């Protein structure tokens, strides 16, 4: 049974709500009457299970809980309330005829906030309820301030990081997951996938187009590329001139980092195709995206001085991706050998050309290189 008897008290939603739990109807009526007189809204339950159901459905501000009830005891109800996050902060007063120390100890162990002995003295009941009401309201106020501060902090973190990483990753940092803010960690070696993209024909574009138009076009181009990177949860490490460096498996682990990088490359080529087509019509420029991707071990961390630093990735896969990008034609994705091996099951349907072992500028040893042309690239 669980019936509200608080209709005569202050309006629902504004009054302090007390749940009285006792299997003795006379005790319930007695406590409810006294609490009503104090202007409190009273609800009642006659056993432990219906009390728990009522509390979960609509948490009260205070629970007056009898200890000795048939079925689930008051100790057990209290213990369960205090062990659950959603109900742990609701003050619980154990009301019992038991006056021995052992029962009090059991109550404390169950998490009770206070005790009231039967027979109940009305002055004592009112005083204890008033005190707990004050404490509870202070606690709620502090909690609401803490929540407001937390929302503010998350918003600040989201704003700070959303220019570098996808909104989803920014959300994870704001939520405090992934061991907090990875950008404050020490430099470390890690396996990653580096993707470099740039604009084929950019130099010609800057020569033939007004500066104002160039900036607008670059913004449009980077808008397309960053959308593709964020769509696949890539992290942008560098944007210079017309080139963009995107990392995967950094700063957060991504078991499917290679597949994400490959999808990003496809998205970049496909999404830029209509933009390039429009530029061709408006400016007579033939432009396209060239992409290089490589995977391997590299260093990730903050590099720079006390006054200026970049959170960046450094190492062979990054250098190799940059060289591959320089070699890539418009709409072409060049992959180093290890990268190709990791995504070869994904490239069926696209045109793959093995370029054999290629000695890249700055490298002494030749490496295997694969060129992939996506079907959608033809529009570029």
Partner 1 sequence: MTQNPLTVTVAKDLEDLIPVFMTNRNKEVETLRGALTAGDFEQLKQLGHRMKGVGRSYGFVTVSEIGKRVEDAAAKSDRGAIGACIAEYADYLARVKVVYE
The site string for partner 1 over 341-380 (x = CB under 8 A, - otherwise) reads ----------------------------------------
Contact with partner 1 (CB under 8 A) among 24, 38, 114, 256? 24
Tokens coding 315? 């190492």
Distance CA 13, CA 29 (A): 22
Q: Which is nearer to partner 1, 120 or 160 (CB)?
A: 120
Pairing assessment for the beta strands 92-96 and 62-66 based on DSSP bridges: parallel
Contact with partner 1 (CB under 8 A) among 97, 147, 215, 303? 97
41: which strand partners? Answer: 17
State in angstroms the smallest separation of the CB of 71 from partner 1. 12
Q: Which is nearer to partner 1, 122 or 163 (CB)?
A: 122
Q: Which is nearer to partner 1, 114 or 171 (CB)?
A: 114
Distance CA 45, CA 160 (A): 50
What does residue 53 show for φ and ψ, rounded to 5 degrees?
-60, -45
* Contact between 126 and partner 1 per CB under 8 A: no
Tokens coding 46? 């006659």
Interface with partner 1 in residues 141-200 (CB under 8 A): none
* Contact between 7 and partner 1 per CB under 8 A: no
**Residue 30 · residue 75 · CB < 8 Å:** no
Question: Residue 258's closest CA among 232, 282, 283, 284?
Answer: 232
Contact with partner 1 (CB under 8 A) among 29, 275, 330, 376? 29
* Contact between 30 and partner 1 per CB under 8 A: yes
State in angstroms the smallest separation of the CB of 55 from partner 1. 23
Q: Which residues of 270-289 are buried (b: 16+ CB within 10 A; e: fewer)?
A: bbbbebbeebeeeeebebbb
* Contact between 37 and partner 1 per CB under 8 A: yes
**Residue 238 · residue 310 · CB < 8 Å:** yes
Footprint of partner 1 (CB under 8 A): 24-27, 29-30, 33, 37, 68, 96-97, 118-120, 122
């Amino acid at each position: 049974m669980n019936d509200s008897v608080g209709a005569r008290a202050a309006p629902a939603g504004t009054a302090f709500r007390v749940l009285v739990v006792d299997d003795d109807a006379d005790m319930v009526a007695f406590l409810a009457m006294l609490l009503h007189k104090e202007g409190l809204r009273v609800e009642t339950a006659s056993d432990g299970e219906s009390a728990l159901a009522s509390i979960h459905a609509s948490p009260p501000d205070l629970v007056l809980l009898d200890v000795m009830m048939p079925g689930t005891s008051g100790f057990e109800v209290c213990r369960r309330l205090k062990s659950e996050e959603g109900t742990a902060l609701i003050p619980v007063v154990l009301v019992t005829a038991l006056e021995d120390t052992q029962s009090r100890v059991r109550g404390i162990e169950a998490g009770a906030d206070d005790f009231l002995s039967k027979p109940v003295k009305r002055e004592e009941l009112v005083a204890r309820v008033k005190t707990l009401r004050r404490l509870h309201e202070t606690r709620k106020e502090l909690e609401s301030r803490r929540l407001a501060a937390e929302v503010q902090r998350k918003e600040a973190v989201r704003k700070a990081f959303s220019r570098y990483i996808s909104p989803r990753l920014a959300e994870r940092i704001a939520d405090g997951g992934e061991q907090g803010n990875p950008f404050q960690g020490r430099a470390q070696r890690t396996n990653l996938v580096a993707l470099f993209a740039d604009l084929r024909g950019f130099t010609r574009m800057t020569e033939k187009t007004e500066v104002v138009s160039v900036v607008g076009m670059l913004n449009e181009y980077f808008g397309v590329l960053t959308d593709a990177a964020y769509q696949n949860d890539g992290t942008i490490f560098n944007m210079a001139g017309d080139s963009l460096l995107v990392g995967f498996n950094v700063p957060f682990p991504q078991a499917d980092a290679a597949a994400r990088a490959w999808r990003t490359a496809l998205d970049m080529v496909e999404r830029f195709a209509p933009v390039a087509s429009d530029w061709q019509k408006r400016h007579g420029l033939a432009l396209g995206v060239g992409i290089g991707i490589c995977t391997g071990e590299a260093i990730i961390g903050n590099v720079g001085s006390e006054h200026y630093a970049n959170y960046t990735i450094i190492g062979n896969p990054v250098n190799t991706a940059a060289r591959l990008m320089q070699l890539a034609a418009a709409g072409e994705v060049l992959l180093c050998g290890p990268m190709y091996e990791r995504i070869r099951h994904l490239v069926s349907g696209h045109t793959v050309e093995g370029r054999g072992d290629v000695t890249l500028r700055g490298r002494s040893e030749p490496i295997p290189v694969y060129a992939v042309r996506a079907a959608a690239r033809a529009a570029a």
